[in-house]
């Protein structure tokens, strides 16, 4: 009878088993690590795709914005050309015609006849000077640079009241020129100009009020009318095909402000523009 000593064999087999198990555990751990890494990679891909999409979107918005800027510039140029053509052009033609007639009378030594003509020429020149002044005021009223936006708003409201005498204008300026950060001056002035323009064009109002105020928290411009109210907004939130309100909104946002429009067909329209004072302070 042969009795074999199998102890080394068992030991070897147990060692092999241990090795197997530890290999299995390592393979599982490694597989889990790879799965985690893979998931992280997928997430990263999604994150990058989202970032790319956001970038594409903001590029697109930038393109739209610059197109609008060009359009706004062009329409402003057309308006100035039209005003020059329609107001200064005829005045200068009339002055030229009267001067030619005056020269002719002078040649004929009819000096007495020339006198009323000269008075008319002086009157036409006065009108032309007033036209140039009013066009220049509309482009950039010197009062905005010389004094500040609070005074410029007083001036604007007065001018509006004189031009549209059927609309009573109430102005409440509860801020001094020095209270309003200078980088907001043009925005506030242009916004009031557009809002008043809208009241004259669309509201059929009897009264309009313009309020500029400043407290510790914010600078606000309010234009309220008692007209027919805004039409219902389209699905995209815009009113009609005009650019005025959209430009106001964008102008306000450029300096961290916002435009709120409240409207009621019986009570008219309230346009409120606000800038938080911290954001509004001069940089």
The residue (of 144 and 203) whose beta carbon lies closer to ligand ATP is: 203
Which listed residue (95, 175, 230, 259) binds ligand ATP by CB under 6 A? 230
- Beta bridge partner(s), residue 257: 275
Residue ranges binding Mg ion (CB under 5 A): 198, 242, 244
DSSP per residue, the chain: ------HHHHHHHHHHHHHHHHHHHHHHHHHHHHHHHHHHHHHHHHHHHHHHHHHHHHHHHHHHHHHHHHHHHHHHHHHHHHHIIIIIHHHHHHHHHHHHHHHHHHHTT-HHHHHHHHHHHHHHHHHHHHHHHHHHHHH--HHHHHT-HHHHHHHHHHHHHHHSTTSEEEEEEES-GGGS-HHHHHHHHHHHHHHHHHIIIII--SEEEEEEEE-SSEEEEEEEE-SS-PPPP-TTS--SS-SHHHHHHHHHHHTTEEEEEEEETTTEEEEEEEEEHHHHS--
Does 244 engage in binding with ligand ATP (CB under 6 A)?
yes
Q: Which does 227 bind (CB under 5 to 8 A by kind): Mg ion, ligand ATP, none?
A: ligand ATP
Does 124 engage in binding with ligand ATP (CB under 6 A)?
no
Does 199 engage in binding with ligand ATP (CB under 6 A)?
yes
Beta carbons within 10 angstroms of residue 184's beta carbon: 24
Site for ligand ATP in 257-276 (CB under 6 A): 269
The residue (of 47 and 206) whose beta carbon lies closer to ligand ATP is: 206
Q: Which does 114 bind (CB under 5 to 8 A by kind): Mg ion, ligand ATP, none?
A: none
Does 203 engage in binding with ligand ATP (CB under 6 A)?
yes
- Rounded Cα–Cα distance for residues 104 and 23 (Å): 118
The residue (of 101 and 204) whose beta carbon lies closer to ligand ATP is: 204
Does 228 engage in binding with ligand ATP (CB under 6 A)?
yes
Q: Minimum CB separation from ligand ATP for residue 158, in Å?
A: 20
Which listed residue (155, 164, 239, 277) binds ligand ATP by CB under 6 A? 239
Q: Minimum CB separation from Mg ion for residue 144, in Å?
A: 20
Site for ligand ATP in 4-63 (CB under 6 A): none
Q: Minimum CB separation from Mg ion for residue 242, in Å?
A: 5
Q: Minimum CB separation from ligand ATP for residue 261, in Å?
A: 8
Which residues contact ligand ATP by CB under 6 A? Answer: 198-199, 201-203, 225, 227-231, 239-240, 242-245, 269
């Amino acid at each position: 009878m042969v009795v074999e000593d199998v102890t080394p064999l068992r030991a070897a087999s147990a060692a092999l088993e241990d090795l197997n198990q530890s290999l299995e555990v390592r393979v599982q751990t490694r597989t889990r690590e790879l799965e985690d890494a893979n998931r992280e990679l997928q997430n990263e891909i999604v994150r990058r795709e989202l970032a790319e999409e956001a970038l594409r979107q903001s590029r697109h918005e930038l393109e739209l914005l610059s197109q609008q800027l060009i359009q706004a510039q062009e329409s402003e140029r057309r308006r100035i050309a039209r005003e020059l053509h329609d107001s200064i052009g005829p005045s200068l033609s009339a002055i030229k015609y009267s001067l030619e007639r005056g020269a002719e009378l002078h040649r004929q030594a009819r000096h007495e006849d020339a006198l009323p003509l000269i008075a008319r020429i002086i009157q036409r020149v006065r009108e032309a000077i007033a036209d140039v002044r009013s066009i220049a005021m509309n482009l950039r009223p010197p009062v905005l640079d010389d004094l500040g936006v609070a005074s410029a708003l007083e001036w604007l409201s007065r001018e509006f009241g004189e031009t549209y005498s059927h609309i009573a204008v109430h102005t409440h300026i509860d801020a001094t020129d020095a209270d309003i950060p200078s980088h907001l001056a043009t925005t506030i002035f242009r916004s009031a100009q557009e809002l008043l323009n809208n009241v004259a064009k669309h509201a059929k109002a009897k009264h309009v009020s313009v309020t500029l105020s400043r407290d510790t928290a914010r600078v606000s411009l309010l234009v309220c009318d008692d007209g027919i109210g805004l039409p219902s907004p389209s699905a995209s939130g815009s009113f009609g095909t005009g650019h005025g309100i959209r430009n106001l909104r964008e102008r306000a946002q450029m300096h961290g402000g916002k435009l709120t429009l409240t409207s009621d067909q019986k009570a008219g329209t309230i346009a409120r523009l606000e800038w938080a004072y911290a954001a509004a302070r001069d940089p």
